[in-house]
Structure 1
Amino acid sequence: MSWWDVLKIGFPAVLTFFAGRASTRLDRRHEQRDAEAAKAPEFTVWPDGGSLRLQNTGDGPATGIMLDFGEYPRERVQRLPDGPFDLAEGASIIFYMSSGLNLQKPPDVVVRCAELASPRHVAIPR
C-alpha cells in the first residue's frame, strides 16, 4: 500500500472526525444562546402597605422599562423614575398612586421593556 492510498483512506476519516467535533461545539453554543434568549422578564404588581410594588418575577433582567397608566394622570404616580429604568431578576420598585372619589386607579398598567416583543398588561390590585 502506498502513501497515496493511506492518504485517500485516512484524510476523509480525519476530516470527518474534526468536522463532527466542530459541529458539536457549535450545537452547544447554539443551545447556550437559546437558553439565554429564553430568559425573559415577567412583571407583577403587589400591594405594599399604602404603596404598590412592581416586581420582575421572570427569569431574566428587564432594561428600558416604561410604564403606561392609560388615562390615569402620570403626575399622580409618585416615586417612579421620569425615564426608562431597569430591574434585575427578582428586583422591584415601590411607587404610589393617589386616588379619590373622582380619580380611581386603573385596572392595569402596561409595561414595556427591551426584552419583550410586545407590551404586558399587569393587573393593579385594588
Structure 2
Amino acid sequence: MEETSPVNCVLNRYILFVNMYSSVLFMVLVSLDRYLLLCHPRRNHVLLTPRVAVLASILTWVFVNIEMTPLIYYAIKDNARTNGTMCHDFASLSQSWGLLVYSLGLTLLGYILPLVALFLCTRKIT
C-alpha cells in the first residue's frame, strides 16, 4: 500500500499489468515464429510476413488492453472506497466474487494458456 494520487495509482497498475501480460503473449508469438522457421523451413508461411507480424502485434495490444479494462474498474472502485488516500496492489483490492472471477479468468487466459502454448512450441522445436 502506498499513498499516491488516484490517477497515478490506476496508471501504475495499468502499465504494470499490460507490460506483464503483453510480454507473455509476445514470447508466445516469438516462439511460434521460431517453431515455424526451424521445424518447417521450406514452407511458405503466411504468418512470417511483415504485414502479419504488425497485425499480430496490434491484436496482441488490443487483446491485452481489453483484458485490463476490468482491472481499471476495480482499481478506480478501490480508490473511491479509500477516498484516494491509499493505493492497494491487485491482491489487496476489496474482496468480491467479481474480482475473484476476473482474476482467475485473467490468470487462465493471460498467463496459463500462453504458457502452455509456449511450452508446446518449445517442445516441438526440441
Considering the TM-score relative to the shorter chain, is it more than 0.5? Answer: no
Structure with a larger share of its residues in helix: 2
TM-score interval for Structure 1 and Structure 2 normalised by the shorter chain: under 0.3
